[in-house]
Amino acid sequence: MFPKLTPATRAIILVNILVFVLEKLATVPMEVHFALWPIATPEGLFRPWQLVTYAFLHDPTNIWHIAFNMFALYMFGPLLEQFWGARRFIGYYFVCLVAAGATQVAVDYATHTGEPTIGASGAIFGILFAFAMLFPRAKLLLYFVIPVPAWLFVSGYAVLELFFGVTGRQAGIGHFAHLGGMLGGALMMLYWRLRSDRGGWRPT
């Protein structure tokens, strides 16, 4: 079952696609100014706005990078947007992407390592977290075949991200950014729950 695109989700997807096209056409790599650079780079390329802009850039040489991220947003975004409303959904999305970027920057600074970070996957992991919390019994297909409850699927994914991040396997992927996106989402939903707003945990 494919969901019907909702306005905010559609807008975010279209912006990502537009930026991807601009990346392909740009004569100077956009990553120089808009990717999320580690704070301690000798060139001093880090800028505060990169905590937002990095999430709208994708590898221009690899269409699967943006395709997987946008497909996940398309699959899970509309349900959350319908539940929360467009305004709250957009706010949640941006909290997750900023939290993801801040986490990656902090880890890079603490470990004196890191490369420029691009991609919406940190925010997407926040979206996955919210989906699992609000619809924990919904079935997701592991390997496109095995039905698994959303809460178990996302929990397992988080454990794998922590494992890969700590061990350094799958280098070149922002595992801590993914975890940071989930953490930002968790804090946002906890805040809403403490306020007794409609955005908190409500298992269905």
Which pLDDT band holds residue 204 (cuts at 50, 70, 90)?
very low
pLDDT tens-digit readout, 79-102: 999 999 999 999 999 999 999 999
In a domain, 48, yes or no: yes
pLDDT tens-digit readout, 24-71: 998 778 888 999 999 877 677 889 999 999 999 999 888 989 999 999
pLDDT at 169 over 70: no
Q: Is the pTM value of this prediction over 0.85? A: yes
In a domain, 160, yes or no: yes
pLDDT tens-digit readout, 128-138: 999 999 988 77
In a domain, 2, yes or no: no
Asked if 65 is an active-site residue, the reply is no
Q: Which domain holds residue 39?
A: 7-194
In a domain, 20, yes or no: yes
In a domain, 1, yes or no: no
Closest CA to 41 of 122, 105, 120: 105
Specify the pairing of strand 139-142 against strand 146-149. antiparallel
pLDDT at position 198 is: 53
pLDDT at position 113 is: 78
Asked if 155 is an active-site residue, the reply is no
pLDDT at 147 over 70: yes
pLDDT at position 66 is: 94
> Which listed residue (58, 65, 175, 178) is catalytic?
178
Q: 200 or 12, which is more confident?
A: 12
pLDDT at position 165 is: 67
In a domain, 120, yes or no: yes
CATH of the domain at 25: 1.20.1540.10
In a domain, 203, yes or no: no
| Direct distance between the N- and C-terminal alpha carbons of the chain, in angstroms, rounded to an integer | 19
Q: 200 or 192, which is more confident?
A: 192
Q: At what angle do helices 86-111 and 63-84 cross, to 10 degrees?
A: 130
> Which listed residue (58, 65, 121, 175) is catalytic?
121
Split into its structural domains, the chain has a count of 1
CA distance 182 to 124: 9
| Farthest CA pair distance, the chain | 50
